[in-house]
A and B are shown apart, each in its own frame.
Chain A
Amino acid sequence: MQARGRGTTTAGFAVLWVAIKREPWIFTLSTLGSVLFGALTVADAWVLGWSTDHVVLPAFRDGEIGADMLWAVLGLFVGVAILRAVGIVARRLGAGVMQYRMQAHSRRAVTRQYLGLPMSWHQKHPTGELLSNANADVEAAWGPIAPLPMAVGTLAMMVIAVVQMLLADLVLAAVGLLVFPLVIVTNVIYQRLASGWATRAQQLRAELSEIAHESFDGAMVIKTLGREPEETARFAAKADELREANIRVGRIRAAFDPALAALPNLAVLVVLVIGVQRVVSGATDPGAVVTVAYLLTVVSFPIRSIGWLLGDFPRSVVGFRRVSAVLAATGAMPYGDLRMPDAPGTPGARLEVDGVDFGFDPARPLLRDLSFTIEPGRTVALVGATASGKSTLTTLLTRLVDVDDGAIRIDGIDLRDLRRGELAGSLAVVPQTAFLFDDTVRGNITLGAEVSDEAIWDALRTAQADGFVAALPHGLDTRLGERGTSLSGGQRQRLSLARALVRSPRLLLLDDATSAVDPDVEARILAGLRDRPDGAGDRAGDGAGDRGGATLLVVAYRKATIGLADEVLFLVDGAIADRGPHADLVARNADYARLVNAYETEEVTA
């Protein structure tokens, strides 16, 4: 326990050292502000002592005092106060700026990792964990920066105070030297005790939030089954646990706070008792007693900041380690330096999948020696039962992951040889679950690219989304997401489709992208896709002329979608089991026929 405590303290200072190295100037500024504040707080005591001995007592004794002395008193007090205010602003603002800057550095670094690390890394880390790494953990890591300048300044203040006391009276100073470490140690014990329960409370807060999230997400089920009382009981049980943890923190606080306040007060009383004896024996003068008593009162509160600093360490160290783990992760996807050739007259891309092996777990390959080619402009449906490898193939085609063996080529170029971002210029994917950004409709479709409104509306029309977008309160500029308008699943899918279409991709990959759309609307979308003569919205009007149809690969379940295709690839257990026009496959492949006719089978039994 002792060793671990020491370990945490060392690690805590190491974390702070990282921050000081990163922001040395802000740290220096805020520490100087703090030292200034500390020095002047002590100076305040000195000013009082000086005023007592040289102005107040003589004035009362002699019944006369010069106006210049009164001005000196005013000047000293106000001057010290103003300088001290400057110190406070420098210290607090400096600590804040340093803390916010370090948070910003960490958040930038962490999110850059999120953007750079491969999908396989993302799949291994739960969403909640990654979000908390970038938010709560970053905040925890740099938490001790807030009391840092004050703690450093307090150290300086303590030194000055101790010197002052020693100068005033050695014996009385000894009392101060005893009480300072006592206050610091008590405060560290307090912070450690409380932080255990505070961490528990933090954990319970997260769990409570999870229950609320789940419960509100499942509101439809809860409401329609009348389960509100049970849900409320579930929430209340967790809320009670949190309440108990908070009350524990409160009890600890209730005990330690008055104790910490009482320690220096007791010391002041001791100073007075000893002081009066020393005045009687002529060892010291009343001013010295006053000075020491005052220093004790003034310094005893700020030295608690050293306890705050040390108390924050355990949380900080844990947060820092979590953030560091993200930053230490490697495996960013390597890119080549090839560009896609501009091939006028061949708008559709040629897709080649050549002997591809792949498995997230090497022991369980998902794709085995998969090979096929799709000629430019063809529309091909990818059909297969669950776990046949369809989704895996789409992640490989978009290079979210790389093949274990073999190669995927577009127009003869291996995906791995392309420059970063180059593939997205030629290939667009529409996933099964649409992801919308917290942005406008326009921003969600263009994703920052320069696209004319006309091209956007073209894409929306093909995706059958022009109707509802036109009806939105601000049209293309309507905000979507948490703080904006909500859309249905089908509407989200259609926007996601428009996002792909507006790029006039040469290879369009639809991964069951119309599953939440009504059949009749879906039929119109498919017809529109098929009939697009030149991939709507000629790419920013680059004058490439007639582009013909893009190559289209569709992961399909419904017969209607399959019916759109020139050809079907029938995938079984990660390999092509058959290939050909739909009608031919139905006729010659019993497995295929059974799979695509499953709906009809159901209706017969119904």
Chain B
Amino acid sequence: MSTATTSGTVLHTGEDIGAWQTIRRGVRHSPELVEGIWVTLMLAVLASVGQIVVPVAVQQTIDRGLQAEQGPDVGFTALMATLAGVGLLVTSWASYKMTARLFDTSERGLATLRVKAFRHVHDLPMLTQNTERRGALVSRVTSDVDQVSQFLVFGGLLAVVSVGQILIATIVMVVYSWQLALVVWICFAPLFASLRFFQRKLSAAYGTVRRQVGVLLSAVSEPVVGAAVVRSYAIEDRTQERIDTAIDAHKAASTRAQGFTAFSFSLGGISAGLANAGVLIVGIWLGHGRLWGSDEGSITAGEVLAFAFLVTLFVGPVQMGTQILTDAQNAIAGWRRVIGILDTPADLVDPGAAGVRLPHRPVDVVFEDVVFAYPGGRPVLRDIDLSIPAGRRVAVVGETGSGKSTLAKLLTRLMDPSRGRVLIDGTDLREISEESLRARVVLVPQEGFLFDDTVAANARYGRLDATDAEISAAADALGLGDWLGGLPDGLATQVGQRGESLSAGERQLVALLRAQLADPDLLVLDEATSAVDPALEVRIGRALERLMSGRTSVTIAHRLSTAEAADEVIVVDVGRIVQQGPHAVLASEPDSTYGRLYRSWVAQQGAPIIDP
């Protein structure tokens, strides 16, 4: 229907949004994320402090219990262990509360974001203009959000705890011995310095993996979705080759990413080894007063050993941190894409409550000097001046790409004109409240799209509160009563995915029923082109006839028989209206566009011979 243009408005990828900005804006879109964040943070601090309990107990036990000057002190050790045990319980409780809270706020926040993005997608022009990009839009409200969710509840939580632990471990280390704390940080400095580098490498590597997943999915779908074509053209080998190539590329990309992850993860262990040795050696030197002019015995053996435990506490969260960075990259990329959706402007502004509400009465249609061009493109429609009186039945004809479908989209306000105005009942479409406009103007698209539900539920898209009796009455009004009665479960018949349990013609009938229930004043019909059973064709014709009676109607006609039956024909050619008037008049002008179209049609209909 549309020409092979690239989509009008560009879907924002969000790629230009910085990481911190992404998080800030993400939080603004999902305020739930920061609900009670201070309590959660307090719990996180409590949980992190608790992680220090064991090494402190160990240090105390070794120093004052195990190696007390007057011999091992059993009572002291038992006291310390009991205190530590209580500390552990409190820590575990804090950790439980914190995790539960994080899950709760994250999931609620992301559900809000998901729904918000979904709602916004329905306002985006590409949804109705560029049908092939729908898959990408679906992933923005599904897998992209899931990625953020995974990170926020797993990574985000660990990130908070890890940073907390690193800080607290550092503080405790400094309290023990600032010199040894310095040694530990020096040993880890190269790792921290190289983090950004690895982060970038990892992000690029996982980006490639994601792209390869897309290629793989597409390749794998070929022998399934295109099974008949693959077979009848005997291109099994080529298809398998394409799949194998995609499989190999996916494997290679995944392996590479995994290699980077493994390597960056292993660096933490080497830093830890260095730090352990450094602590013991420097600790001994400190104990001997050989460094930094410290006094003899400024540190005890127990303190040095406890420090080794503190290093493990430090290493754990650092290792975790490098891991989280990988997830964070993916999550932030996903978050960006979702925010990108919300950033993509809806091209149509609904005046809402301030808008005009059209009364229920026959409407006239006026196009005033209308021009339409996709952004940055040549005009698809130009100099359109048109007036259709109320109750008139109009057919629009023209070749593929002439702009006749664009005319229908402007008339139903799927797009706004680049210049000029489209008026219904004397009111600019842009000034009519969306709700009123959609109730008064109804488009019956080429393919009667049905939802995986019953016939009745599909008809109710026309009027939500319609009772079964009202739906049956509407069907009778269109002469579809016996057809409806012939369905296996009548109104309750399930139509299947995309209505596939019904034939194309029957789907069309449901679409007409839907329009009848909506009871519009202006009916815009995009005529179906695919052939249906002649008997059904007759039925559709009759239903259409009844549906159009008493309403203004504009039909985008693909058959000249439709034009012939209309009160008036509008001929569009290369974006301009070139002829307008009753069929009989236009057909009698042999050199006109319509005259030519008509002759070739008559030739096809009449004789089996085609004039070359």
Contact = CB atoms under 8 A, between A and B. Distances in A.
Contact of A222 (B122, B223, B278): B122
Contacts of A55: 280, 284
A321 interface: no
A224 B218 contact: no
A587 interface: no
Contacts of A329: none
A114 B78 CA distance: 68
Interface string B177-219: 0000000000000000000000000000000000000101111
B69 to A, nearest CB: 12
Contacts of B91: 258, 262
A438 interface: yes
Contacts of A398: 228, 231-232
A479 B531 CA distance: 29
Contact of A488 (B1, B123, B450): B1
Contacts of B584: none
Contacts of A7: none
A523 B3 CA distance: 20
Nearest to A490: B400
A96 B128 contact: no
A481 interface: yes
Interface string B103-127: 1100110110011001101110001
Contacts of A107: 216, 220, 243, 247
A602 B497 CA distance: 31
Interface string A62-102: 01110000100110111011101110110111001100110
Interface in A245-287: 246-247, 249-251, 253-255, 257-259, 261-262, 265-266, 268-270, 272-273, 275-277, 279-280, 286
A189 interface: no
Contacts of A236: 111, 115, 118
A588 to B, nearest CB: 16
B449 interface: yes
A205 B110 CA distance: 13
Interface stretch (B129-137, B325-333, B467-475, B483-491): B129-137
B103 A253 contact: yes
B610 A530 contact: yes
A349 to B, nearest CB: 15
Contact of B127 (A115, A219, A557): A219
A92 B272 CA distance: 19
A265 B88 contact: yes
Given A84-B273, A598-B538, A601-B538, A512 B108 contact: no
A135 B266 contact: no
B229 A435 contact: yes
A310 interface: no
B413 to A, nearest CB: 9
B567 interface: no
Interface string B311-348: 01000000000000000000000000000000000000
B295 interface: no
Nearest to B301: A60
Contact of B81 (A231, A272, A487, A558): A272
Nearest to B564: A603
A519 B308 contact: no
B172 interface: no
B261 A92 contact: yes
B438 A80 contact: no
Given A250-B103, A254-B100, A114 B92 contact: no
Nearest to B505: A386
B4 A51 contact: no
Interface string A90-125: 011100110011011001100110111001001000
A234 B437 CA distance: 23
B1 A246 contact: no
Contacts of B538: 598, 601-602, 605
Interface string A279-312: 1100000100110011001100000000000000
Contact of B262 (A92, A216, A235, A423): A92
Interface residues of B, number: 188
A379 to B, nearest CB: 11
A380 to B, nearest CB: 13
A313 B252 CA distance: 26
A216 B57 contact: no
Given A231-B122, A250-B104, A262-B92, A226 B439 contact: yes
Contacts of B54: 265, 268-269, 297
Contacts of A258: 47, 91-93, 95-96, 99
Nearest to A96: B258
- Most chain B C-beta atoms within 10 Å of own C-beta, residue among A218, A427, A429: A218
Nearest to A218: B449
A342 interface: no
Contact of A289 (B66, B441, B531, B536): B66
Contacts of B37: none
A482 interface: yes
A220 B438 contact: no
B563 to A, nearest CB: 11
Contacts of B77: 272-273, 276
A530 B136 CA distance: 42
B260 to A, nearest CB: 10
A255 B143 CA distance: 27
Given A516-B530, A598-B537, A131 B224 contact: yes
A209 B138 contact: yes
B354 interface: no
Contacts of B137: 212, 216
B240 interface: yes
Given A77-B276, A247-B107, A272-B58, A232 B228 contact: no
A423 B88 contact: no
A468 interface: yes
A564 B608 contact: yes
Contacts of A114: 223-224, 227
B559 interface: yes
Given A104-B251, A114-B224, A437-B222, A565 B608 contact: yes
Contacts of A471: 4
Interface stretch (B18-26, B368-376, B421-429, B596-604): B596-604
Given A122-B224, A246-B107, A214 B451 contact: yes
- Most chain B C-beta atoms within 10 Å of own C-beta, residue among A213, A499, A596: A213
B453 to A, nearest CB: 10
B443 A224 contact: yes
B218 A563 contact: no
A360 interface: no
B466 interface: no
A594 B270 CA distance: 86
B288 interface: yes
Given A74-B281, A468-B3, A429 B218 contact: no
Contacts of A222: 122, 461
Given A276-B72, A601-B538, A60 B300 contact: yes
Contact of B305 (A103, A221, A231, A290): A290
Given A485-B6, A565-B608, A224 B412 contact: yes
Interface string A569-588: 00000000000011100000
Contacts of B269: 81, 84-85, 88
Contacts of A21: none
Given A82-B270, A254-B99, A563 B531 contact: no
A428 B133 CA distance: 30
Contacts of B449: 217-218, 220-221
- Most chain A C-beta atoms within 10 Å of own C-beta, residue among B53, B227, B597: B227
Nearest to A59: B284
Given A221-B449, A258-B95, A486-B130, A122 B274 contact: no
Contact of B445 (A100, A220, A275, A399): A220
5 contacts: A127-B225, A135-B216, A438-B219, A520-B600, A595-B534
Given A74-B278, A74-B281, A224-B445, 4 more contacts: A96-B258, A100-B250, A468-B4, A518-B399
